[in-house]
Each structure stands twice: as C-alpha cells, then as structure tokens.
Amino acid sequence: MVRRNDDVNGAPQDGAPQDDAPADEAPADEATGAAGADAGARPSRSARKRHAIALQKLGVRLTRLTAVQLHTLALPEELLAAVLEAQRLRSRAALARQQQYIGRLMRQIDPGPIEQALDATLHR
C-alpha cells in the first residue's frame, strides 16, 4: 500500500491552506460587513453614550438657572421638580445621582425646544 502525504482527514500536508468555500462566494463577514447587517438600523453604543452625556450636560445647564427662569422654559413637571431638587442638594454624591436622573429624564423628551429656550434665556 502506497501512502500519500495526507493527514488522517485527507487534507494535503504541503502547507497550503485548504479552502472549502466555493471561489465565487465571499466569506460571511465580508458579505455582511464587519459591523453586521443591522449596523445602520441603530447607533453604536458609543454614539448612544455620547448622546446621553450631552443630554445630561444640558440638564446640568438647567440647574444653573433661577427658579423664575426655569418656570419660563415650559419644562415637563417631573423634569422641573428634578432640576429644583438638584439646586437644593449640597452633597456632591447626591448631586451626581440627581444629575444622572435628570439626564435620564432628558432622554425621554425632545431636547431641541429646551436648548433653544435655554440659549434665548442666557443671551438676553
């Protein structure tokens, strides 16, 4: 019996990689792209975090306004109460938690009108 230079499974031992995929098919990750098929459907995790941080910073800007200025902005009741509570707090840790809460409330509403009203209030 003559033994060929193949391993147990029949793959050649000459060091050349054996490609089982047909030549006209692209590998799966090249066909769908590195980010996956639904990459355009939603923003990346980093983009969502950047957006959340920007909204929290907008909420922190609200905490620097007076109560009279806040009432002129037509904020949702829950957000207004949270901002007024943040102004009352003196503990650094409590203030950080309240700012996180304000950021979460800001993600539930449209920040555009609040930004415009805030800019108009500060530029008077």
pLDDT in tens, 24-65: 554 544 444 455 555 578 999 999 999 999 999 999 999 999
CA angle 103, 95, 84 (to 5 degrees): 75
**Residue, of 76 and 18, whose pLDDT is higher:** 76
Average pLDDT of the chain?
A: 81
pLDDT at residue 120, as a whole number? 86
Packing angle of the helix pair 92-107, 45-63 (nearest 10 deg): 120
Domains within the chain, CATH numbers bracketed: 45-122 (1.10.60)
pLDDT at residue 16, as a whole number? 54
Q: What is the pTM of this model?
A: 0.64
CB 70 within 8 A of CB 83: yes
2 φ/ψ sector (left φ>0, alpha ψ -120 to 50, else beta): beta
3-state class (DSSP) for residue 12? strand
pLDDT above 90 covers a percentage of the chain that reads 58
pLDDT at residue 2, as a whole number? 59
3-state class (DSSP) for residue 6? strand
